[in-house]
Structure 1
Amino acid sequence: MRVLLSAYACEPNRGSEPGVGWNWALEVAKRGHKTIVITRLNNKQIIESVILNDLNIQFIYYDLPVKLMWLKKVFGVHVYYFLWQIGIYFNVKKKLYLLQPDIIHHITFVAIRKYSFLGFLGVPFYYGPLGGGESCSATLLRGLPVRYRLKENLRNSLNAFVKWNPISRIIFNQSRKIFCTTNESAAYLSHSFKNKIHSFPAIGITNENVILNKTSLNGNLKILYVGQFIYWKGIQMALDALSLLKTENNNFTLTLVGKGEFEPFLRKKIKRLGLSENIIWINWLPQEQLKELYQNNDLFMFPSLHDSGGMVVLEAMINVLPVLSFNMGGPGYFNNNDIGWVLDVNNKTYQNVVNEMALKLNSISKNSKEIVIKSQKCKEYISHYSWEQTVSQVYNIIENDFQNVNN
Structure 2
Amino acid sequence: MSANPTPKRPRVLVIAEAANPEWVSVPLVGWSLAHALRDVANVHLVTQIRNQEAIERAGFVEGEDFTAIDTEYLAARAHKIAEKVRMGSNRGWTTVRLIENLIYPAFERKVWAQFKDQITSGGFDIVHRVTPLTPTVNSLLARKCKRAGVPFVMGPLNGGVPWPREFREAQVREREWLSFVRSVYQLNPARTRSLGNASAIIVGSRHTQSEIPKRFQDKVVYIPENAISRDRFAISTPPKAGDVMRGCFIGRLVPYKGADMAIKAAAPLMKEKRFALDVIGDGPELEPLKALAAELGVTEQVTFHGWVAHEDVQSVARQSQLFIFPSVREFGGGVVLEAMALGLVPVICDYAGPGELVGGDTGYKIEMGTREQVIERLQTQLSEICDAPEQLAEKSAAALDKVEQFFTWPAKANQVRDVYDWVLTNAAKPNPLKHHVSTLTGGDHTQIETHVPYTVSS
Match of 2:36 among 27, 31, 39: 27
Name the structure 1 match of 2:308: 285
- Contact residue 207 and residue 383 of structure 1 kept, 8 A: no
Paired residues for 1:9-48 under 5 Å: 9-12=18-21, 14-33=23-42, 35-48=43-56
Task: Mark the CA change 1:210 to 1:113 in structure 2 (over 3 Å): closer, same or farther.
Answer: closer
Note closer, same or farther for the CA distance 1:258–1:149 as it changes in structure 2 (3 Å cut): closer
Secondary structure in 2 aligned to 1:94?
helix
Cα deviations by residue, 1:16-49 (Å, 9 ceiling, x for unpaired): 312211121122221132x222222221221111
2:26 pairs with 1:7:
no
SS in 2 for 1:203: coil
1:81 and 2:88 are equivalent in the alignment:
no
Residues 146 and 210 of structure 1: CA distance in aligned 2, closer, same or farther (over 3 Å): closer
| Contact 2:142–2:198 under 8 Å retained in 1 | yes
Alignment of 1:234-253 (within 5 A): 234-246=258-270, 249-253=272-276
Report the CA distance shift for 1:210/1:122 in structure 2 as closer, same or farther (over 3 A): closer
Deviation at 1:98, TM superposition (A): 4.9
| Correspondence for 2:164 among 123, 129, 137 | 137
What letter is aligned with 2:76?
Answer: M
- Structure-2 residue corresponding to 1:170: 193
Aligned residue for 2:211, secondary structure, equals coil
Q: CA deviation at 1:257?
A: 1.7
Shift in Å, 1:289: 2.5
Deviates more, 1:127-136 or 1:254-263: 254-263
Closer/same/farther in 2, CA of residues 183 and 213 from structure 1, 3 Å limit? closer
Match of 1:255 in 2: 278
1:339 and 1:400 map into 2 onto residues whose CA distance is 31
Cα separation, 2, equivalents of 1:326 and 1:18:
26
Q: For this pair of structures, how many residues does the alignment match?
A: 393
Matches within 5 A, 1:238-387: 238-246=262-270, 249-263=272-286, 266-267=289-290, 269-345=292-368, 348-384=369-405, 385-387=407-409
Question: 2:284 and 2:139 mapped to 1: Cα distance?
Answer: 28
SS state at 1:95 partner: helix
| Matched-pair contact (CA < 8 Å) for 1:134–1:328 | no
Shift of 1:325: 0.9
* Displacement of 1:331: 1.4
Partner SS, residue 38 of structure 2 = helix
Mean Cα displacement is larger for which, 297-306 or 265-274?
Answer: 265-274
SS of 2:201 mapped into structure 1: strand
Given residue 370 of structure 1, which amino acid in structure 2 is its aligned partner?
Q
- What per-residue deviation string (whole Å, max 9, x for no partner) do you get for residues 296-328 of structure 1? 112111222232221111111111111111222
| Cα distance change on mapping 1:281 and 1:40 into 2, 3 Å | farther
The question of whether the paired residues in 1 share the 8 Å contact of 2:238 and 2:342 is answered with no
8 Å Cα contact 1:181-1:202 kept in structure 2: yes
Deviates more, 1:292-301 or 1:365-374: 365-374
In 2, Cα distance between equivalents of 1:25 and 1:283: 31
Distance of aligned partners of 1:222 and 1:193 in 2 relative to their CA distance in 1, 3 Å threshold:
same
**Residue 277 of structure 2 is aligned to residue 214 of structure 1:** no
Measured after TM superposition, the shift of residue 401 of structure 1 is 1.2
TM-score by length of 2: 0.77
2:420 is aligned with 1:398? yes
Q: Contact conserved, 2:160 with 2:179, CA < 8 A, in 1?
A: no
Structure 1's 148 and 114: CA in aligned 2 closer, same or farther, altered over 3 A? farther
Task: Judge which range, 368-377 or 103-112, deviates more.
Answer: 368-377
Contact residue 367 and residue 377 of structure 2 kept, 8 A: no
Deviations 1:248-281 (A, max 9, x none): x344332222233444554554455454443322
User: RMSD in angstroms over aligned alpha carbons?
Assistant: 2.9
Q: Using the alignment, how far apart are the partners of 2:152 and 2:46 within structure 1?
A: 15
Q: Show the counterpart of 1:64.
A: 72
Question: 1-side partners of 2:162 and 2:261: how far apart?
Answer: 16
Q: Is the 8 A contact 1:340 1:374 kept in 2?
A: yes
**8 Å CA contact 1:214, 1:372 repeated in 2:** no
Aligned partner letter, 2:281 = G
The one-letter amino acid of 2:314's match is K
Quote the offset at 1:72 in angstroms: 0.2
1:359 is displaced (CA, Å) by 0.9
Amino acid at match of 1:222: R
Partners of 1:110 and 1:10 in 2: CA distance: 11
Q: C-alpha distance in 2, partners of 1:149/1:315?
A: 25
- Report the equivalent of 2:113: 94
Percent identity between the aligned chains? Answer: 22
| CA distance in 2 between partners of 1:277 and 1:117 (Å) | 56
Q: Structure 1 stretches of 5 or more lacking a match?
A: none
Q: 1:157 is matched with which residue?
A: 181
Partner of residue 224 from structure 1, selected from 248, 254, 269: 248
For 1:163, what is the secondary structure of its paired residue? helix
Q: Deviations over 1:375-407 (max 9, x none)?
A: 3333333211222222322331233213469xx
Q: AA paired with 1:168?
A: R
Distance 2:117 2:35 in 1: 22
Aligned partner of residue 69 in structure 1, secondary structure: helix
Deviations 1:71-108 (A, max 9, x none): 30231442552244222122112212454343322212
* 1:126 alignment partner in structure 2: 153
Paired residue type of 1:388 = P
Distance 1:32 1:149 in 2: 41
Q: Does structure 2 conserve the Cα–Cα contact (< 8 Å) formed by 1:205 and 1:314? A: yes
CA apart distance, 1:201 = 0.9
